[in-house]
Amino acid sequence: MARYAHIIGWGKCVPRRVMTNDDWSKLVDTSDEWIRSRSGVRERHVASEGESTLTLGLEAARNALEVARLSPAYLDLIIVATVSPEYPFPATASLVQDQLGATHAGAFDLSAGCSGFIYAVAIASETLRSGAYQYALVIGSETLTRMMDWTDRATCVLFGDGAGAVVLAASDVPGGVVSHTLGSDGSGGDYLIVPGGGSRNPATHETVDQRLHCIKMNGREVFKFATRAMDRATRLVCQKANVDLEDVELVVPHQANDRIIQSAAKALGLPNGTFYVNLDRYGNTSAASIPIALCEVLDMGRVHRHDHIVLVGFGAGLTWGAVLVQWETPFPGVRIKWWQRLTNALYYRWARVRSVFARTRRRLESWRTSEGNGQDSGDGDGDGDGDGDGHAPPRSSPAADTPPASLTQPSQPALSLPDQEVAPAELPPPPPEPTPAEERDDATTEK
Ligand code: UT7
C-alpha cells in the first residue's frame, strides 16, 4: 500500500528581544531607509543570554508536538537543520532528543544553509514514505546573530534568530509532501561562508582577530543566484508532482530579501499575494525562516484542505530546494486540552529527570571503574567497559530509557483523516494578528 508523509504539527519560537533598524543605525553606519528599501527588513529577534539554537529549537518542537498531540516517545527521527548549532558536536538534534525524552528516536543535524529545512523535510518524508519510520520531527533553528560581524553593515543588519518545527506522520491517505527537489553548486561556496573554526582554519587567536568565525557574504552574487534558484526550484517541484503553477495556492519562500521574493513571483507569473512574506518582522533566520513562516500561515488559517503549498529556499553551499505539499490534514486542529498540556509538562519533567539520572549513573560508573582498576578497566582499550572492544558501554539501561507507560500513549497514534471537512461551526476563530508590541511581550512565541 502506498504511503504518504503529512505535516500534522507545527510550532515556532523566537527570542523575546527585538532589534529595530533604528537600533542598528546606532551601531553601524546604516539607516532604516536603506535596510527597508534594500532588503525589506524592519526588525529582527535577537537571542539573549540563556537563549540558544537548542532552547529555541526545543520550544518550537514542543509546540509542534502539542499541535500534533503526539508524545515524543513515538518519534522515530529528529532532524535539526542549522548552520549555527549548539556545538560543532554533539548534534543539536541529539540534545533536543534528550530534553524531549524522545527515547526511541535517531537524531542528527543537517547543514545545507538556508535550504536546510527543505532538505530535512525531503529526507524525513522519504523515510516515512519508505515505511522505515512512522513519525519524524524536523526543526529549523538558528542563532546567526552569534556568528555575525557586528561591524560589517552589509551583512549584520539582515539576519535574525528563531526556530520553527514540524511533525511529519506516515499515512495511507494520499497527499502531504508529494514532491521535492534539491540542488547544490559548491563552486559558489565562498559567496556565503564562515571561513574560520573548521578544519581549514581551526580557531586561533589570529582567526578570531580576523573575524574568520563570522559570516562573510557577497550579497550581490547571492542575490543573482537566489532569483534564478527560486524560479527553477518552484517550477521543477510542480512538474514532478504534475501540478500546474496556477494551481499553487501559496508559496512560502525563504525570507532573505523582499526584492528576491518579488522577482521570483514575477518570473513565475504568480500574483505577489501568493508569496507569504514576514521578513519585515524577523529578518533572515536562515534554516528557520521557512518553518516560522509556515507556522504563521497555518495559524492564520490561510491554508485549506486540498491546497497546494510550495516551500522554496536557497542558501549557503550554494544550495537550493523546494517541497510541494498537498494539504490534507484537517485544519485548524482542535485546541489542546488542559490535561493534555499537564501530561506534556509532566513528560518533559520526566525527560529531564531521566537525563540527569543517566548522566549521574554514567559518572558513577566511570568513577567506580577508575577506583577499582586505576585509570581504566584494565582491558587495554581505554573505553572503561572492561570488554576490550574499544567501545564505550551502552549509555543507559532499558529501565532509564523507558518512560512511564501512562505517558507514552500518543493521543493520535496514527494519522487518519476524515472524509468530510471539519464543520466550520466547530472550529475556533482564527487568532487575531498580533501587533508588534504584543510580539515583544511574548517571552517565547507560541506555536
Ligand atoms: O539566505 C541567503 C543569504 N543572503 C541573501 O540572500 C542576501 C542576498 N543579497 C541581498 O539581499 C542584497 O545584495 C543586499 C541586501 C545584501 C545588498 O543590497 P544591494 O542592493 O545588492 O546593495 P550592494 O551590496 O550593491 O550595496 C549598495 C551600496 C554600497 O555602497 P557603494 O559601494 O555603492 O557606495 C554599500 O556599501 O550600499 C552600501 N551598503 C549600505 N549602506 C547603508 C551596504 N550595506 C549597507 C547598509 N547601510 N547596511
Nearest CA to ligand 1 atom 26: 154
* CB of 38 closer than 6 angstroms to any ligand 1 atom: yes
The rounded percent of the chain whose pLDDT value lies above 90 is: 74
162 — phi, psi (to 5°)?
A: 165, 180
Distance 245 CA to ligand 1 centre (A): 31
Ligand 1: atom nearest CA of 220 is 13
Tell me, yes or no, if 278 is annotated catalytic: no
Distance CA 389, CA 383 (A): 8
44 — phi, psi (to 5°)?
A: -150, 155
Cβ contacts of 334 within 8 Å, gap of 6 or more: none
Going by pLDDT thresholds of 50, 70 and 90, the confidence category of residue 161 is very high
State the pLDDT at residue 51.
97
Rounded to the nearest angstrom, the gap between the alpha carbon of residue 245 and the centroid of all alpha carbons in its chain is: 26
Ligand 1: atom nearest CA of 39 is 15
∠ CA(328), CA(141), CA(179), 5° rounding?
Answer: 35
Mutate to test the pocket of ligand 1, among 26, 36, 191, 223 (most ligand atoms within 8 A of CB): 223
In this predicted structure, the answer to whether residue 175 has a pLDDT above a threshold of 90 is yes
Tell me, yes or no, if 114 is annotated catalytic: yes
Summarised one tens digit per residue, pLDDT across range 47-93 is 999 999 999 999 999 999 999 989 999 999 999 999 999 999 999 99
Going by pLDDT thresholds of 50, 70 and 90, the confidence category of residue 329 is confident
Mutate to test the pocket of ligand 1, among 35, 38, 156 (most ligand atoms within 8 A of CB): 38
State the pLDDT at residue 279.
96
Cβ contacts of 379 within 8 Å, gap of 6 or more: 385, 386, 387, 388
Give the relative orientation of helices 219-241 and 258-268 as an angle to the nearest 10 degrees: 40
* CB of 223 closer than 6 angstroms to any ligand 1 atom: yes
99 touches 90 (CB < 8 A): no
Tell me, yes or no, if 284 is annotated catalytic: yes
* CB of 357 closer than 6 angstroms to any ligand 1 atom: no
Nearest CA to ligand 1 atom 41: 30
Distance 219 CA to ligand 1 centre (A): 6
Summarised one tens digit per residue, pLDDT across range 411-437 is 443 344 333 333 333 333 333 333 433
State the pLDDT at residue 335.
61
Summarised one tens digit per residue, pLDDT across range 231-250 is 999 999 999 999 999 999 99
By DSSP bridging, strand 106-110 and strand 161-171 are unpaired
**Positive or negative torsion for Cα 174, 302, 413, 164:** positive
Q: Which fold has domain 4-326?
A: Peroxisomal Thiolase; Chain A, domain 1 (3.40.47)
User: Which residue in the list 21, 257, 284, 344 is annotated as catalytic?
Assistant: 284
* CB of 127 closer than 6 angstroms to any ligand 1 atom: no
Distance 38 CA to ligand 1 centre (A): 7
Distance 154 CA to ligand 1 centre (A): 5
Q: What is the DSSP letter of 284?
A: B
| Cell reading at 273 | 499575494
Among the listed residues 190, 192, 162, the one whose alpha carbon sits nearest the alpha carbon of residue 314: 192
Report the predicted TM-score, pTM, of the whole model to 2 decimal places: 0.83
Q: What's the start-to-end Cα distance of the chain, in Å? A: 33
* CB of 219 closer than 6 angstroms to any ligand 1 atom: yes
The per-residue b/e assignment along 155-188, b for 16 or more CB within 10 angstroms, e otherwise, is: bbbbbbbbbbbbbbbbbebebbbbbbbbbbeeeb
